[in-house]
Homo-oligomer: A and B are copies of this chain.
Amino acid sequence: MSEQSISRRALLAGAAAAAGGALLGGPAADAQQAPVVPADPTKQPGAPVTAVGARSPFVHPERAPVGQITGTALTPLQDLAGTITPADLHFTRIHNGVPAIDPARHTLLIHGMVEHPLELTVAELQRFPSVSRVHFIECSGNGRAAYHTPSPAMTPQQVDGMTSNSEWTGVPLSTLFHEVGLRHDADWFLAEGGDASLLARSIPVSKGMDDAMIAWAQNGEPLRPEQGFPIRLLLPGWEGNTNVKWLRRIKLGRAPFMTRWETAKYTDPLPGGKIRQFSFEMDAKSIITSPAYPERLSGPGWWPVRGLAWSGRGRIARVDVSTDGGRTWENATLLSPLTAKAHVRFEYMWQWNGNNSLLMSRAVDDQGYVQPTMSELLAVRGPGTDYHYNAIRAWAVARDGTVTFEART
């Protein structure tokens, strides 16, 4: 029995109790049936307030696929609005399960080329000066399934659901670096997670001194286990795996540590048999989340074209929307504050005339970078490209209002 169905049942039980059951006849609702509600909710008392609120029984966003201990569960982008990703729906990439960690026993060791090695408890970390900032995290593999094995019946979640956006709170890594005293030739650090995969990445010290953070809270509350409870590394704008979860160790050194995670994974094939390594920054990208598969437009008229845009290099400067497959472009409205390295919600009001249409979005960031078409991207990267796939996405709207994913742009 899922938590979702339990919540739904509890809510309906509460409503049924309040109504004496009179207006709620029929079999008990469950996940397979439409929830039963009063004919007129104003005519009977509602349910009591709860310690921890549940979603409406009519609302059940879910990550997918689930049940794995090695894999990725994607955020249901098509079910969301605004820019914040609810913590329980943040995409998750795990390499050997979600560890169960006692925060009172977890520590962060900072050692290697430092003057004063330090081992800090979580409570000690939380006594340092903190910051709260909104940033996206995107898996470097986001979008590659839709490149390698596209299908018209792919949802935004399946196409690009490995990006999520949160308010993160923690201590700037630069503060801890000052505390331990970096040696002058310490140019890289190793960040190691406390899960059973011991994921470890090499990161330039310059990023640590810039905007890196040891985060203990997400969207106002302590990190969830699937997001690194009790602490994670946050490297704003850099590929997801470098934002090491369940962080337990930082080791300063002269050069990259060349872990298996930077050779067996997370390198980018280029034309001519070359490989791009340490490709940390996530390029500007966008996706229309509505209209999108499996939506169906009920008829011609005004429809909002809504989506998300983001850039690992700075602020989104502009989002263009095309409804004719890229022949012409119009400026979309940016609906939320233009935070650097964060999701921005865009919207373009489209008057659909009922003909076949091809919807596209194109992000432009404040570095002047323009999100490429697939053919532009492949011309640079070659056909072997895999990680960092950020080509323009398209949705085909047919005369009957059905919307399908169109892989080629």
With the chains together, A305 CA to B69 CA distance in Å? Answer: 40
From A192-200, A354-362, A375-383, the one touching the partner chain is: A192-200
With the chains together, A100 CA to B47 CA distance in Å? Answer: 8
- Verify B37–A101 contact, CB threshold 8 A: yes
From A332-340, A386-394, A395-403, the one touching the partner chain is: A332-340
Known: A46-B69, A49-B69, A84-B219; 18 extra A-B contacts, CB below 8 A, are: A42-B198, A46-B96, A46-B195, A47-B97, A49-B68, A52-B61, A56-B101, A59-B229, A80-B217, A81-B216, A81-B217, A82-B168, A83-B132, A83-B220, A86-B87, A128-B304, A129-B333, A219-B219
Look across to chain B and name the residue whose beta carbon is closest to the beta carbon of A16. B100
- Verify B85–A220 contact, CB threshold 8 A: yes
Chain A, interface SS category: loop
CB distance from A98 to the nearest CB of B (A): 4
CB distance from A287 to the nearest CB of B (A): 15
In the complex, which residues 335-380 of chain A have their Cβ closer than 8 Å to any Cβ of chain B?
A: 335-337, 339, 345, 347, 349
With the chains together, A269 CA to B184 CA distance in Å? Answer: 66
Q: A46-B196, A102-B58 given as contacts; is B52 within 8 A of A4 (CB)?
A: yes
With the chains together, A217 CA to B81 CA distance in Å? Answer: 6
Complex contacts, A7 vs chain B, CB 8 Å: 3
- Verify B49–A129 contact, CB threshold 8 A: no
- Verify A35–B129 contact, CB threshold 8 A: no
CB distance from A12 to the nearest CB of B (A): 7
**For the complex, is A309 an interface residue (Cβ under 8 Å from B)?**
no
- Verify B219–A35 contact, CB threshold 8 A: no
- Verify A53–B127 contact, CB threshold 8 A: no
**Chain A 90-117 interface 0/1 with B at a Cβ cutoff of 8 Å (1 = within):** 1010101111111110000000000000
Q: Which of B64, B84, B226 contacts A53 (CB 8 A)?
A: B226
CB distance from A78 to the nearest CB of B (A): 12
**For the complex, is A38 an interface residue (Cβ under 8 Å from B)?**
yes
**For the complex, is A15 an interface residue (Cβ under 8 Å from B)?**
yes
- Verify B102–A222 contact, CB threshold 8 A: no
Q: Which of B129, B169, B248 contacts A81 (CB 8 A)?
A: B169
Complex contacts, A15 vs chain B, CB 8 Å: 100
**For the complex, is A251 an interface residue (Cβ under 8 Å from B)?**
no
8 A/B residue pairs, CB under 8 Å, sorted by A: A3-B50, A4-B52, A18-B69, A42-B194, A45-B69, A48-B69, A49-B98, A51-B63
**For the complex, is A10 an interface residue (Cβ under 8 Å from B)?**
yes
**For the complex, is A71 an interface residue (Cβ under 8 Å from B)?**
yes
Q: Which of B41, B59, B302 contacts A99 (CB 8 A)?
A: B41
